[in-house]
Structure 1
Amino acid sequence: MADRPANFGVSPVMSIDPLAEVVTLLQPAIRFSKLVEYAGAWKIRREGTGEPFYCAVLDGGCRMTVDEQAPMILQAGDFVLVPAMHTIVSASLDAPEIETTREPIEIGEGRFRVGCVDAPAELTMRIGHCHFASPDADLLVRLLPRVILARGEPRLATLMQLVGEESFARRPAREVVLERLLELVLIEAVRSGDATMSAPGLVQGLADPRLAAALRALHARPERPWTVADLADEAAMSRSAFFARFSRIVGLPPMEYVLAWRMALAKRLLSDRELAVEQVAERVGYSSASTFTVAFGRYTGLSPARYGRAQKAA
């Protein structure tokens, strides 16, 4: 079957947003957010931690190199998101050859200084680290770009201001508000930024109209007994062409993606403990609790019931 014109008409199946689902499942939570001022010549190297890292340039400019790639010149209004932090070298525009070893000096609550302490600040950035509470964070992060650079996005600037205010306000429901703000930051950054270190993943898949049709159909109906042929039909492609294109652009073979997504959904449902195992099995596309239990055990090493109890104990 040759590629056919895809049917991209509006339907209930297309109402699901896979990117929003992935970000929600990641369960982002803030570790810290701080305002950092820089003056003079400086150069700092941060080793990779695997945790999400973000920074927003509020004033001035600097250079930033992620994972030994080409340096980025950042200016006021720029926002950088690294979903899984690699080694990052940031430096003044007239950076010295040797890294500055001195740690940032705290000059107030949530405010730090790098470089010359007494000189006027030449660069101001809001820097933060967060973590993803999802047990499938490694898989889900693989579906996002490795580095995202967004320039001059007022919505991101507003969200970052809210994150900063909420971080130190100590208001009721602070953690819930921060989680929702971080979800918005992640979604806004991904959809408005450039993937400066392009890699296979969900974002690339959603940028491909044919693959996007298949991905949205899968996310809308994970309970359907999907096959490669079914997904290829959604993409209006031949089975072989779809398999090759999906594997290359998304980074996983189609049915491996289906399994991983179903297991991620199942873990969330089991953690919530609102549904019986039989109901979870049905929600994620298994004909019986026994077949789901076998598949879940192979994937996680635990039975669904034991996994649910472990999450409750945690």
Structure 2
Amino acid sequence: MQDPLTQVVTLLQPAAQFSKVVSGARAWHVRRSEAGRPFYCVILEGSCRLEVDGHEAVVLLANDFVLVPSAHGFTMSGLEPPTPDGVDPSTVSVRPGETRHGEQSGPPDVRLLVGYCVFGSPDAVMLTALLPQLVHVRGEHRLATLVQLVVDESREERPAREVILARLLEVLFIEALRSTAGTAASAGLLRGLADARLAVAIRQMHDSPAHPWTVGQLAAEAALSRSTFFERFSRAVGVSPMEYLLAWRMAMAKSLLRRQEAGIAEIAQRVGYSSASTFNVAFTRHVGSPPGRYAREQTKALAVGEASGALAGS
């Protein structure tokens, strides 16, 4: 059996899409609000400030790694506050291999590798809701090693540089999620897995989604009272136990429908529904279309994508 984090990451299909080296000096800031785009950042040297909407600002230091699985708005800036006679913080220039913000002359206060990744899964919105809204990792030896490899590769114009960077960033993405599995993580699956009692219940939901779980049964698995379990789970994961179980069941159902591994009746049983009709109602309410139509639309979309790829390669 795969652990819950492996299952979620496997379904997400993460891939690095774009990256660039950015530097900043004195007073500077950048505001982005691309809803839902997964953002990552590696601090190559120096320090800066990051403020993600809904979270307190954090100061980032060299070798820090930040991942925002579903960024809805964030601001990056220098540590130096703007002054009336100072540099316009919106000043930016594009140089060979680097984008410079703020003061254009002299050494930078920070250099960082920033970019966006993509999730290949059509369920990305559903699955990223199970992850923390902000992942900030510091002081992890394995992660520091990966960061150094990214730094070295980003500074050299070697053959296949972009391919290597993409693969390294994918591994960095997964390692960052593993490294953040602690109470410092924002609400989500990782924080739930860091709680030994909750982790038992989460693994049971993932290993046996077909079981007719109740909050009481899951609380017993976690060796907690029903009320304590419900409150502790909701606070750590960000949703109630039954909401989490529903999200996981629907993610599994959509994956099975896309792969056409079984009929709707069998899929219904495999994800915990006593009949195809009850599954149909739950799926339609959660996804917005019946399972049969969803499967047909996904098959059609896959065929169109393969045809487009064949034309592009011809």
Category of TM-score, reference length = shorter chain: 0.7 to 0.9
Amino acid at match of 1:284: V
Residue number in structure 2 paired with 1:123: 110
Alignment of 1:91-110 (within 5 A): 91-97=77-83, 100-108=89-97
What SS does the corresponding residue of 1:236 show, helix, strand or coil?
A: coil
Residue number in structure 1 paired with 2:9: 23
Residue number in structure 2 paired with 1:57: 43
CA apart distance, 1:68: 6.9
CA apart distance, 1:267: 0.7
Structure 2 CA distance for aligned equivalents of residues 155 and 125 of structure 1:
19
The runs of 5 or more residues in structure 2 that have no matched partner are: 302-314
Structure 1 CA distance for aligned equivalents of residues 113 and 293 of structure 2:
42
Residue number in structure 1 paired with 2:178: 191
2:276 matched to 1:289? Answer: yes
2:90 matched to 1:88? Answer: no
Give the % identical residues.
Answer: 51
CA apart distance, 1:163: 6.3
1:155 to 135, 142, 148: 142
Alignment of 1:1-314 (within 5 A): 16-47=2-33, 49-67=35-53, 69-97=55-83, 100-108=89-97, 111-160=98-147, 178=166, 183-193=170-180, 199-314=186-301
The runs of 5 or more residues in structure 1 that have no matched partner are: 1-14
CA apart distance, 1:118: 4.5
CA apart distance, 1:285: 2.0
Structure 1 CA distance for aligned equivalents of residues 192 and 54 of structure 2:
26
- Figure out how many residues of one structure are paired with residues of the other and give that number: 294
Amino acid at match of 2:222: A
Maintained 8 Å contact 1:269/1:280? yes
TM-score normalised to the size of structure 2?
0.79
- Bigger drift between 300-309 and 281-290 goes to 281-290
CA apart distance, 1:307: 0.6
Amino acid at match of 2:91: R
CA apart distance, 1:128: 1.0
Maintained 8 Å contact 1:16/1:216? no
Structure 2 CA distance for aligned equivalents of residues 183 and 142 of structure 1:
19
Distance 1:91 1:137, change over 3 A: same
CA apart distance, 1:289: 3.1
Higher relative contact order (Cα pairs below 8 Å, separated by 6+ residues): 1
Structure 2 CA distance for aligned equivalents of residues 96 and 290 of structure 1:
61
Amino acid at match of 2:208: R
- Bigger drift between 157-166 and 86-95 goes to 157-166
CA apart distance, 1:157: 4.3
Q: What is the alpha-carbon root mean square deviation over aligned residues? A: 3.2
